[in-house]
């Protein structure tokens, strides 16, 4: 946890020093991902294996979000907010979890983050470059598997989330 807290401080420092809009977006995205991991570390009962963690619910929420493009994530986020604010009967706790997953996924699939990761290639150590290549190939496969118009959902989705 100490490493994650230190990383959070470093991200805040870089963010305060940054002037380039693209780099600012990158550091903001990193802050979102770091904050998500810190929340899990600070509340282990809600993290995987914790007393309040429900694997089936978490997997259902992840299936709704995983693999969506940035545009689709934004659309899903807007529809989820509208549904939660509609006053109709909904499982607010589940859809709040979906919103958290959307926020993290949007930070991860941000085009600016992807561009910055690509630009880091020449300055990384061989080990870091290998990890970068693995992430890039999985992101590319992930994006291309979800970009076709005739895609089949991996899990049943509410009518509005399709």
50-95 pLDDT, tens per residue? 787 888 998 999 999 998 888 999 999 999 999 999 988 989 889 9
Q: How far is CA 71 from the centre of its chain?
A: 13
Same domain, 39 and 80: no
**Residue 28 in tokens:** 């903001």
Same domain, 41 and 73: no
23 is a domain residue: yes
161 is a domain residue: no
Q: Which residue has the higher pLDDT, 32 or 137?
A: 32
Same domain, 115 and 100: no
CB 27 within 8 A of CB 15: yes
Same domain, 75 and 122: no
28 is a domain residue: yes
Query: Which of 37, 53, 69 is at the close of a domain?
Result: 53
CB 5 within 8 A of CB 38: yes
Q: Which of 137, 153, 150 is nearest to 65 (CA)?
A: 153
| Reported pTM | 0.60
In whole angstroms, what is the distance from residue 39 CA to residue 19 CA? 28
> Which residue range(s) make up the domain with 143?
110-148
């Amino acid at each position: 946890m100490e490493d994650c807290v230190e990383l959070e401080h470093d991200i805040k420092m870089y963010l305060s020093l940054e002037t380039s809009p693209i780099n600012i977006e990158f550091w903001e995205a990193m802050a979102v991902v770091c904050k998500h991991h810190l929340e899990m570390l600070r509340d282990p009962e809600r993290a995987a294996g914790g007393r309040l963690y429900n694997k089936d619910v978490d997997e259902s929420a992840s299936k709704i979000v995983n693999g969506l493009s940035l545009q689709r994530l934004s659309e899903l986020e807007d529809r989820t907010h509208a549904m939660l604010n509609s006053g109709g009967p909904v499982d607010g706790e589940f859809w709040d979890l979906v919103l958290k997953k959307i926020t993290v996924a949007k930070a991860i699939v941000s085009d600016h983050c992807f561009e910055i990761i690509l630009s880091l290639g020449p300055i990384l150590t061989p080990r870091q470059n290998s990890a970068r290549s693995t992430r890039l190939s999985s992101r590319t496969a992930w994006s291309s598997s979800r970009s076709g118009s005739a895609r089949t959902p991996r899990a049943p989705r509410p009518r509005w989330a399709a």
